[in-house]
Amino acid sequence: MVKAIVGANWGDEGKGKITDMLAEKADIIIRFQGGANAGHTIVNNYGKFALHTLPSGVFYDHTTSIIGNGVALDIPKLMKEIGEITEQGVPMPKILVSDRCQIVMPYHVLFDQYEEERLAGKSFGSTKSGIAPFYSDKYAKIGFQVSELFDEEILKEKVERVCGLKNVMLEHLYHKPALDPAELLNTLHTYRDMVAPYVCDVSLFLDKALKEGKQILLEGQLGTLKDPDHGIYPMVTSSSTLAAYGAIGAGLPPYEIKEVVTVCKAYSSAVGAGAFVTEILDEKEAQELRERGGDGGEYGATTHRPRRMGWFDCVASKYGCRLQGTTDVAFTVLDVLGYLDEIPVCTAYEIDGEQTTDFPVTAKLERSKPVYTRLPGWKGENIRGIREFDKLPENCKKYVEFIEQQIGYPITMVSNGPGREDIIYRESPLKK
């Protein structure tokens, strides 16, 4: 059985925590898209970790962690991450890397930086990890598959061909130093030796695992609104963030994905540029939520950039859940809101004088204004440590129930702290 854990919004919803928690009962956890540009923060009995490439299942010794073919694999970063967790006392996890996974090349990172420099004020706010140049090359069919590292003839020819192409751009567009094919080939030999112990025909491995009845988790990065097709294009990421893509990015049949757990945070945050309808414009108010948010503040796990803060957006989240094919919503970071007298919730957008609850295309999103309902808070009541929904303060329950009604998808998990055990399972009237 396959379960996907994905985000409804802009990312940073707390997917890492939910995956880490659900991994206890899983056999295999797979990353199926994205790269080391974003990160999950996980708190468990080994400590606090920021994972960028490894799936959030690496902390258990009964699980296999897989880097699927859909991922942008930065091999030195993967090695560094394995080193970091094992140094902190986590037993060496069982890791497999798909032989069809493509490699983030050193020049992808350079091109990412050069392009941001070139765009200057009009940049996309890239994390400069090489992700956009990586996926451009993948679809331009000049990417390097892990499998190709093991065929010297193919590798050598391709390195020369691709360097020739890249050097034209480096010289004429960016006015930067050229790539040396011999040096690049050497680098790829070191990559080959690093990754060799993990390489696997992942789709075959998964086919067998499914036949044996294994429990598989697909772990998404970012959220629906960063999807290149269904998100806030062009302020999106370069690979699909949707559960449906999990089938492709891992290499398993789409009909095997039986459950889609969509993670929604109890308020909003976003990184990078782009329309953000419920953004808190008062900087003092935003800073208060940012400081209290997440576990130790809402700052990027990779870049440490302060995140943009906003109120819960039912329009965006309903859309985010719909595109994911949500069977369950995990509603996270609810504990953070306990300092507010009342909590604004965006229930509709006003676009050109008309109200709608349907999420629009980007051009219209830029003109959307939030319509808020203000719900009473549960100020002064600490909800951390509560394990039953009925024990939550009345206004806190109402906040969850109101949002569930608005988005129309069942909230079956409520997370009230960063730890594995900070979870309330809930029966939802919307769950058939």
Q: Nearest approach, Cβ of 320 to ligand GDP (angstroms)?
A: 13
User: Which one, 181 or 272, has the nearer CB to ligand GDP?
Assistant: 272
User: Which one, 129 or 368, has the nearer CB to ligand GDP?
Assistant: 129
Q: Nearest approach, Cβ of 422 to ligand GDP (angstroms)?
A: 6
The distance from CA 139 to its chain's CA centroid, rounded to whole angstroms, is 21
Active site residue 40: yes
Torsion of CA 75, 80, 82, 84, to 10 degrees: -170
Q: Which helix (H) or strand (E) holds 202?
A: helix 202-211
DSSP sequence for 305-322: PBPEEE-EEHHHHHHHHH
Q: What is each CA distance from 151 to 146, 159, 179, in whole angstroms?
A: 10, 12, 21
Q: Nearest approach, Cβ of 114 to ligand GDP (angstroms)?
A: 27
Q: Nearest approach, Cβ of 19 to ligand GDP (angstroms)?
A: 7
User: Which one, 48 or 374, has the nearer CB to ligand GDP?
Assistant: 48
Instruction: Find out whether 393 and 269 touch, Cβ atoms under 8 Å.
Output: no
User: Which one, 43 or 66, has the nearer CB to ligand GDP?
Assistant: 43
Tell me the C-alpha distance between 78 and 378, whole Å: 42
Tell me the C-alpha distance between 349 and 314, whole Å: 10
Q: Nearest approach, Cβ of 326 to ligand GDP (angstroms)?
A: 15
User: Which one, 238 or 332, has the nearer CB to ligand GDP?
Assistant: 332
Q: Nearest approach, Cβ of 365 to ligand GDP (angstroms)?
A: 22
Which neighbouring-strand residues pair with 372? Answer: 346
User: Which one, 98 or 416, has the nearer CB to ligand GDP?
Assistant: 416
Catalytic residue among 12, 112, 137, 227: 12
Phi/psi of residue 122, nearest 5 degrees: -100, 20
Instruction: Find out whether 257 and 218 touch, Cβ atoms under 8 Å.
Output: yes
Nearest residue to 99 (alpha-carbon basis) of 132, 63, 52, 67:
67
Nearest residue to 370 (alpha-carbon basis) of 350, 356, 355, 354:
350
User: Footprint of ligand GDP on this chain (CB under 6 A)?
Assistant: 7, 11-17, 40-41, 43, 294-295, 301, 332-333, 335-336, 415-418, 422
SS3 category, 328: strand
Catalytic residue among 40, 52, 108, 230: 40
Q: Which positions are annotated as active-site residues? A: 12, 40
